[in-house]
Chain A
Amino acid sequence: MRKKVLKVTGIILSLVLVLGLMTGCGSKKTTSDKKEEKKQFKIAKKDLKIGVIHISDPSEGSGYTYTHDQGIIAMQKKLGLKDSQIVRKTNITDTDPTKTETAIKECIEDGCNVIFGTSWGYMDTMEAMAKEYPDVAFSHGTGYKKNDSNFNNYFGRIYQARYLSGIAAGLKTKSNKIGYVAAMGKDNAEVTGGVDAFAMGIYSVNKKAKVYVKVTNSWFNPNEETNAAKALISQGCDVIGQHCDTPNPQLEAEKAGVWGVGYNSDMTKDAPKATLTSTIWNWGAYYTEAVQELIDGTWKPEVYYGGMKEGLVDIAPLNKKLIAPGTEKKIEEAKEKMLSGDFNVFDGVIETNDGKKVGKKGETLSDEDIKGKINWYFKNIVVK
């Protein structure tokens, strides 16, 4: 008898633990102002309710999800939306379709009529859900799928910013070895295109420097990212670029007394003694535009691929104490050419590191190629 009582008490206490956690962290809103919308999406500002699906937690303080959330906050401020009009779902693993679906359903049940999914892996789930809920606008970040009525995708030319940050790295390096912590391997066009642009920026100012790439195989893994950076530094790299979510490579560089180029948000706040600049996203540029269009009734399920010109990507203010002399001028020149449309990084014939040639003279790679088909490394890249 006593055992039973104890067991039951145990179970109850476990439940209390779980419930306490749920109520502690949940950001559920109780107000439900569900409205019937028409297909062309003209949603009055007060009826808007936006669901945002995040792969991790904005509270990281820097990195991918934080940057997206800053974009949402910027949009909210600019358009004057109330806190209750934004529903955030955090830590939704993008390799788990069931979890993704549940999160989106929760948003819709909560009255959301716009869903932003910020991670690549939500793509197929969002496509299916868009069919199921024709009255909700779905917008998917970093993917390539869309439909004709209520599902689009958005992404940006971060490679433009990476090229510029490469200039800062190429001028700064003394060992002529520049490291790069890459989240994914050669077959991932987003990451590989980014390394290539970075390497091409370096090559434009420093023909001797080589770029060493280490792949972590994960978008977010603090431990792996630190280890990869450590390995690069031990092999003599003195500038560490990165395409991963935590500032750990920058911090590792700072510890070792070398330099780095951050990603996603301005990482000088994390590693002021190492970070030369960071390639950054201003997602607010897209979110503001998209939501404004939804309010105006001009939103269309189109592919959005903004760049430097649209203000979606940029480099963070240069760290004046660290950069090599002349960096600002070189970057400014390249940036102007990009803004005027004369230069788009992947122009002309490009030599790869296995002796092949990509692209045609006088042309630039198409957006489709840049987004999905870059699986070659530029000639100064070494994978060791």
Chain B
Amino acid sequence: MSTVLNLFVAAVLAGTPLLFGTVGEIMNEKVGHLNLGVEGMMSIGACAGFMVGYQTDNVVLALLAAFAAGVAAALIYAVLTITFMADQNVTGLTLTIFGVGLANFIGEYMLNHSATQSLKLPEHISAQIANLHIPVLSDIPVLGKLLFSYNIFVYIGIVTAVICWYYLQKTKTGLNVRAVGENPGAADAAGIRVIRAKYINVLIGGGICGIGGAYSAMIICGGVWISNCVNGLGWISVALVIFASWSPVKAIYGSLAFGCFSVLKYYVPKSIISIPNAFYDMLPFVITALVLVISSVRQSKENNQPASCGTNYFREER
């Protein structure tokens, strides 16, 4: 029982950076932009969040910095693909290479200028991002540990996902945004400001990815700066978008499932079930492939990739 409990807690923590990356990417894809730069935007967010946290010892500023840095990184992508019509895949990949490199470059510079060649977040901010202890709630047996004892990122992530879902599914702007993603020409004809919608979504998506990066640097790496701290989480997020069938709320379950897959091998007792670790490592991707197959068989428009995703919209060519 306690193993299951521990597994659940570990799965939530492992899934949180994926949740941010996935919701960010969904925001992008919903306006027809396949942004493969998630890894890069997360890296830049990780660097900015960590460095600001390190210097100011203030968690709010660190989060804002991570968000702003993600927005700035996404702006590069947005200008290139929305305004200048550059190929989305190539630009996204370039952004990944650029982002990871830039984060490591700044990290190296900071390390070389620190007294001990080590960057560790100060006490105050470390306490703020540690697991919360909410009076009464956290003390409920089992449930307290299961639901009310995570670090603030976990709750921010869930709230962000729910807000994004509400925005996309329940507001008029969201309806417009989805129209842009499905058929920008028709949306334009209907009087929706396509370019503006694209910019807003791509930038917000980037910001959300940035916070996911900050999670890698500040929580996973225990508040010590390590190069390449995102290390592929951005790519898994891109796969998770398919798993979540482009819904921010499903991304919550999806990231929990992916988080669970990634830690499962450490919790399944080898004495009872002995499967090679490689099997666990491939689980998320096998299941993503299965989801792709199932969703293509079902062919429901609702759960599919937005139709215009990957192609740029050029107004004069309508």
Q: Name A residues whose Cβ lies closer than 8 Å to a Cβ of B.
A: 2-3, 6-7, 9-11, 13-14, 17-18, 20-21, 24-25, 56-63, 185, 214-215, 217, 220-224, 226-228, 230-232, 234-235, 246-248, 250-252, 254-255, 269-271, 383-384
Give the residue name and chain of the A residue nearest to B2 (CB): A234
The answer to whether B220 touches A222 (Cβ under 8 A) is yes
- B233: chain A residues at CB < 8 Å are 223
- A9: chain B residues at CB < 8 Å are 84
Q: How far is the CB of A14 from chain B (nearest CB, A)?
A: 5
> Residue B55 at the A interface, CB < 8 A?
no
Give the residue name and chain of the B residue nearest to A11 (CB): B86
The answer to whether B227 touches A7 (Cβ under 8 A) is no
Bound CA–CA A21/B94 (angstroms)? 10
The answer to whether B222 touches A18 (Cβ under 8 A) is no
Could you mark each residue 108-137 of chain B with 1 if its beta carbon is under 8 Å from any beta carbon of chain A, else 0? 100110001111100000000010000000
The answer to whether A383 touches B270 (Cβ under 8 A) is yes
Could you mark each residue 276-311 of chain B with 1 if its beta carbon is under 8 Å from any beta carbon of chain A, else 0? 011001000000000000000000000000000000
> Residue B214 at the A interface, CB < 8 A?
no
A to B CB contacts below 8 Å, 23 in the list:
A11-B86, A14-B80, A14-B94, A21-B98, A59-B104, A59-B108, A59-B111, A61-B117, A61-B118, A63-B226, A185-B277, A222-B220, A223-B220, A223-B233, A223-B262, A226-B222, A227-B10, A231-B266, A234-B6, A251-B224, A255-B130, A255-B222, A383-B270
The answer to whether B227 touches A18 (Cβ under 8 A) is no
> Residue B142 at the A interface, CB < 8 A?
no
Bound CA–CA A248/B90 (angstroms)? 33
The answer to whether A18 touches B98 (Cβ under 8 A) is yes
Give the residue name and chain of the B residue nearest to A227 (CB): B263
Could you mark each residue 63-95 of chain B with 1 if its beta carbon is under 8 Å from any beta carbon of chain A, else 0? 000000000000010011101111100110011
Q: Which 7 A-B pairs have the closest CB atoms?
A: A251-B222, A10-B86, A59-B108, A10-B84, A231-B266, A234-B6, A57-B227
The answer to whether B220 touches A231 (Cβ under 8 A) is no
The answer to whether A18 touches B83 (Cβ under 8 A) is no
Q: How far is the CB of A51 from chain B (nearest CB, A)?
A: 19
Bound CA–CA A11/B94 (angstroms)? 11
Could you mark each residue 202-240 of chain B with 1 if its beta carbon is under 8 Å from any beta carbon of chain A, else 0? 000000000000001000111111111101010000000
Q: Which applies to chain B's interface (DSSP): helix, strand, loop or mixed?
A: helix
Bound CA–CA A199/B117 (angstroms)? 31
Bound CA–CA A103/B53 (angstroms)? 36
Bound CA–CA A384/B87 (angstroms)? 48
The answer to whether B224 touches A270 (Cβ under 8 A) is yes
The answer to whether A231 touches B6 (Cβ under 8 A) is yes
- B98: chain A residues at CB < 8 Å are 17-18, 20-21
The answer to whether B97 touches A18 (Cβ under 8 A) is yes
Bound CA–CA A270/B223 (angstroms)? 9
Q: How far is the CB of A241 from chain B (nearest CB, A)?
A: 16
Q: Name B residues whose Cβ lies closer than 8 Å to a Cβ of A.
A: 2-3, 6, 9-10, 13-14, 17, 76, 79-81, 83-87, 90-91, 94-95, 97-98, 101-102, 104-105, 107-108, 111-112, 116-120, 130, 216, 220-229, 231, 233, 262-263, 266-267, 269-271, 277-278, 281, 314, 316-317
The answer to whether A234 touches B222 (Cβ under 8 A) is no
- A3: chain B residues at CB < 8 Å are 85, 314, 316-317
The answer to whether A215 touches B277 (Cβ under 8 A) is yes
- B9: chain A residues at CB < 8 Å are 234
The answer to whether A56 touches B94 (Cβ under 8 A) is no
- B101: chain A residues at CB < 8 Å are 21, 24-25
The answer to whether A13 touches B85 (Cβ under 8 A) is no
Q: How far is the CB of B126 from chain A (nearest CB, A)?
A: 9
The answer to whether A223 touches B120 (Cβ under 8 A) is no
Bound CA–CA A18/B98 (angstroms)? 7
Bound CA–CA A301/B261 (angstroms)? 46
Q: How far is the CB of B273 from chain A (nearest CB, A)?
A: 11
Q: How far is the CB of A181 from chain B (nearest CB, A)?
A: 10
- A59: chain B residues at CB < 8 Å are 104, 107-108, 111-112, 227
Give the residue name and chain of the A residue nearest to B84 (CB): A10
Bound CA–CA A248/B226 (angstroms)? 9
The answer to whether B6 touches A56 (Cβ under 8 A) is no
The answer to whether A217 touches B222 (Cβ under 8 A) is no
The answer to whether A384 touches B270 (Cβ under 8 A) is yes
Bound CA–CA A248/B221 (angstroms)? 6
Q: How far is the CB of B296 from chain A (nearest CB, A)?
A: 30
- A13: chain B residues at CB < 8 Å are 79-80, 84, 86
Partner of A248, one of B84, B86, B119, B222: B222
The answer to whether B118 touches A270 (Cβ under 8 A) is yes
- A221: chain B residues at CB < 8 Å are 231
Chain A CB within 10 Å — which of B10, B86, B112, B277 has the most?
A: B86
Partner of A214, one of B90, B229, B266: B266
- A185: chain B residues at CB < 8 Å are 277
- A223: chain B residues at CB < 8 Å are 14, 17, 216, 220, 231, 233, 262
Bound CA–CA A296/B217 (angstroms)? 46
- A220: chain B residues at CB < 8 Å are 228, 231
Q: How far is the CB of B16 from chain A (nearest CB, A)?
A: 11
Bound CA–CA A252/B130 (angstroms)? 11
Bound CA–CA A252/B13 (angstroms)? 13
Chain A CB within 10 Å — which of B2, B119, B221 has the most?
A: B221
The answer to whether B107 touches A14 (Cβ under 8 A) is no
The answer to whether A252 touches B222 (Cβ under 8 A) is yes
Q: How far is the CB of B313 from chain A (nearest CB, A)?
A: 11
Bound CA–CA A143/B81 (angstroms)? 46
The answer to whether A10 touches B80 (Cβ under 8 A) is yes
Q: How far is the CB of B234 from chain A (nearest CB, A)?
A: 12
Give the residue name and chain of the B residue nearest to A213 (CB): B270
Bound CA–CA A227/B263 (angstroms)? 6
The answer to whether B83 touches A14 (Cβ under 8 A) is no
- A14: chain B residues at CB < 8 Å are 80, 86, 90-91, 94
Bound CA–CA A29/B227 (angstroms)? 24
Q: Taking A18-B97, A59-B111 as contacts, is the C-beta distance between A226 and B220 under 8 angstroms? A: yes
- A56: chain B residues at CB < 8 Å are 227-228
Q: How far is the CB of B151 from chain A (nearest CB, A)?
A: 10
Bound CA–CA A231/B7 (angstroms)? 8
